[in-house]
Chain A
Amino acid sequence: MSAAALDSLATIEKSPGYWSGVMRRFRRDPVAMLALAIILGLVLMAIFAPWIAPNDPYRGQMLRRLRPMGTPGFPLGTDELGRDMLTRLIYGARLSLLMGVTPVIIAFFIGSAIGIAAGYVGGWLNTVLMRTVDVFFAFPSVLLAIALSGALGAGIFNGLLSLTIVFVPPIARIAESVTTAVRKIEYVEAARASGASSFTIVRVHVLGNVIGPIFVYATGLISVSLILASGLSFLGLGVKPPEPEWGLMLNTLRNAIYVQPWVAALPGAMIFITSISFNLLSDGLRSAMDLKA
Chain B
Amino acid sequence: MRTRAVLTSIFASVGVLVIGWQAGSAAMTSTQPTRTSSGTSGTSTGTVLGTTTATAPAASGAADGSYTGDDVNTRFGSVQVQITVSGGKLADVTALQLTDHDRRSVQISNRAEPILRSAVLDAQSASVNNVSGATYTSNAYLQSLQSALDQAGL
Q: Do A and B bind each other?
A: no
B→A interface (CB under 8 Å): none
